[in-house]
């Protein structure tokens, strides 16, 4: 259960409302007014909690769970322990996430400029926005309704931030336009110069970076992630893309909507990703490449050529996943043979 020191949920909520929010079906005869206290995992849940079961690896935990309510696929309902009320959903995890959001909505903005925040007089701050202690907002910046700017964050000159966006503590933004419902996690760096210069023995010569960063609606940018602004074109993060911590995104990169970029990935300059691309942790994409829609790149992969839509690659240099595993097996066999 969530520690009340840090979390104050909205529960209890009536079962019928929870099911409706979750897009899950109640069994016949269930009382829609039964109170649900909160959400919890299968192990931690008690009789007043809602849990979920989707991955069969957790079947044993499901069978002995004390959860009073549980979302699962219709086909799995028969495995439920006695006393558990089962809510049916074709997408149990998604349903659970929706329910959990109802119990634990994002914190609301506390409108106003906190003591110790420094806001340039030419910045335009919506009356419903929150500027926390120590935050700095530069000249001509625009901060939309219900935006929350965290403690000691820095919003650079002329940066625009759409409604309901959250900027975490200590993050810094410059030369960027940020959409609505975006979350920038603590310490993220958005909009600084890209890494562009002419190499030369007498001293590398920097190229002024004259593009911007455009972050569309519903994007998340992880803690201490860095997104450089474009060199001339813009760096663009498409709507709904989720970026984890410590990711590096070079100048002019364009990431399509709905992509998922796991921690410590690096994307080199001018590479374009289609929609719904998944890059697993610590993978890297060389510059000036095209990664097609729906492509998947495995953990620690090093991609040095274009990837077709829907292709699944891994390895360094990255190859098709099936080929990679064949190589792994072949090399293991070769080594055994030689030492045997």
Could you say which residues in the range 284-313 bind a second copy, by CB under 8 A?
A: 284, 286, 299-300, 302, 304
CA atoms within 13 A on the CB side of 295: 26
Q: Roughly what angle, to the nearest 10 degrees, separates helices 15-22 and 92-103? A: 130
| Closest distance to a second copy from the beta carbon of 33 (Å) | 24
SS3 call for 177: strand
| Closest distance to a second copy from the beta carbon of 340 (Å) | 10
> DSSP secondary structure string, 46-60?
-TTEEEEE--GGGHH
Other Cβ atoms within 10 Å of 322 Cβ, number: 10
Q: Does 40 bind a second copy (CB under 8 A)?
A: yes
Per DSSP, 77 falls in state: G
Closer CB to a second copy, 80 or 207, in the complex: 207
- Of 11-19, 24-32, 34-42, 75-83, the window that binds a second copy (rule: CB under 8 A) is 34-42
Per DSSP, 15 falls in state: H
Closer CB to a second copy, 42 or 84, in the complex: 42
Q: Which of 144, 162, 170, 238 binds a second copy (CB under 8 A)?
A: 170
| Closest distance to a second copy from the beta carbon of 57 (Å) | 8
Residue 61 contacts residue 42 (beta carbons within 8 Å): yes
Q: Contacts with a second copy in 58-117 (CB under 8 A)?
A: 91, 93-94, 96-98, 100-101, 103-104, 114-116
| Closest distance to a second copy from the beta carbon of 31 (Å) | 26
Closer CB to a second copy, 34 or 140, in the complex: 140
Closer CB to a second copy, 31 or 288, in the complex: 288
Residue with tokens 């998604």: 94
Provide the mask over 200-219, with x wherever binding to a second copy is found by CB under 8 A and - wherever it is not: xx-xxxxxx-xxx-----x-
| Closest distance to a second copy from the beta carbon of 64 (Å) | 17
Q: Which of 16, 308, 316, 321 binds a second copy (CB under 8 A)?
A: 316
Total chain residues near a second copy (CB under 8 A): 116
Residue 255 contacts residue 239 (beta carbons within 8 Å): no
Helix (H) or strand (E) holding 32: none
SS3 call for 303: strand
Longest dimension (CA), the chain: 81
Q: Which of 24, 109, 129, 138 binds a second copy (CB under 8 A)?
A: 138
List CB contacts of 134: < 8 A, sequence separation 6 or more: 114, 116, 117, 151, 152
- Of 11-19, 62-70, 72-80, 245-253, the window that binds a second copy (rule: CB under 8 A) is 245-253
Of 244, 260, 269, 248, the closest CA to residue 294 belongs to 260
Closer CB to a second copy, 31 or 110, in the complex: 110
**Helix and strand tally (H, E) in the chain?**
4, 39
Q: Does 329 bind a second copy (CB under 8 A)?
A: yes
Of the candidates 49, 200, 251, 288, the residue annotated as catalytic is 251
- Of 24-32, 40-48, 59-67, 75-83, the window that binds a second copy (rule: CB under 8 A) is 40-48
Q: Which of 146, 148, 175, 296 binds a second copy (CB under 8 A)?
A: 175
Q: Which of 238, 256, 266, 274 binds a second copy (CB under 8 A)?
A: 266
CA atoms within 13 A on the CB side of 180: 5
- Of 26-34, 59-67, 75-83, 261-269, the window that binds a second copy (rule: CB under 8 A) is 261-269
Per DSSP, 231 falls in state: S
Closer CB to a second copy, 84 or 184, in the complex: 184
Q: d(Cα 158, Cα 145) in Å, to the nearest integer?
A: 17
Active-site residue 49, yes or no?
Answer: no
Q: Cis peptide before 143, with omega less than 30 degrees from 0?
A: no
By annotation, the residues acting in catalysis are 251
């Amino acid at each position: 259960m969530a520690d009340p020191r840090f979390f104050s949920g909205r529960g209890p909520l009536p079962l019928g409302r929870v099911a409706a929010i979750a897009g899950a079906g109640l069994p016949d005869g269930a009382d829609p007014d039964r109170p649900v206290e909160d959400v919890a995992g299968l192990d931690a849940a008690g009789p007043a909690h809602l849990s979920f079961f989707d991955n069969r690896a957790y079947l044993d935990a499901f069978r002995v769970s004390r959860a009073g309510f549980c979302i699962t696929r219709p086909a799995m309902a028969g495995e439920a322990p006695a006393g558990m009320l089962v809510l049916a959903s074709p997408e149990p995890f998604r349903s659970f996430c929706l329910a959990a959001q109802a119990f634990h909505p994002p914190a609301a903005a506390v409108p106003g400029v906190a003591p110790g925040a420094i806001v340039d007089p030419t910045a335009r701050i919506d009356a419903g926005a929150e500027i926390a202690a120590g935050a700095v907002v530069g000249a001509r910046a625009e901060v939309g309704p219900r935006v929350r700017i965290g403690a000691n964050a820095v919003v650079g000159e002329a940066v625009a931030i759409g409604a309901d966006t959250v900027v975490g503590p200590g993050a810094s933004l410059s030369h960027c336009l940020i959409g609505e419902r975006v979350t920038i996690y603590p310490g993220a760096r958005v909009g600084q110069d890209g890494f562009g210069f002419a190499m030369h023995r007498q001293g590398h010569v920097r190229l002024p970076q004259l593009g911007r960063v455009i972050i569309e609606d519903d994007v998340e940018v992880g803690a201490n992630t860095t997104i450089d602004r474009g060199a001339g074109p813009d760096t663009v993060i498409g709507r709904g893309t989720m970026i984890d911590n410590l990711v590096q995104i070079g100048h002019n990169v364009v990431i399509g909507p709905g992509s998922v970029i796991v921690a410590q990935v690096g994307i080199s300059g001018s590479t374009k990703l289609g929609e719904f691309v998944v890059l697993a942790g610590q993978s890297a994409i060389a510059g000036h490449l095209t990664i097609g829609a729906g492509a998947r790149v495995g953990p620690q992969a090093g991609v040095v050529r274009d990837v077709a839509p829907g292709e699944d690659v891994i390895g360094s240099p990255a190859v098709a996943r099936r080929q990679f595993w064949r190589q792994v097996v072949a090399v293991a066999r070769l080594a055994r043979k030689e030492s045997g």
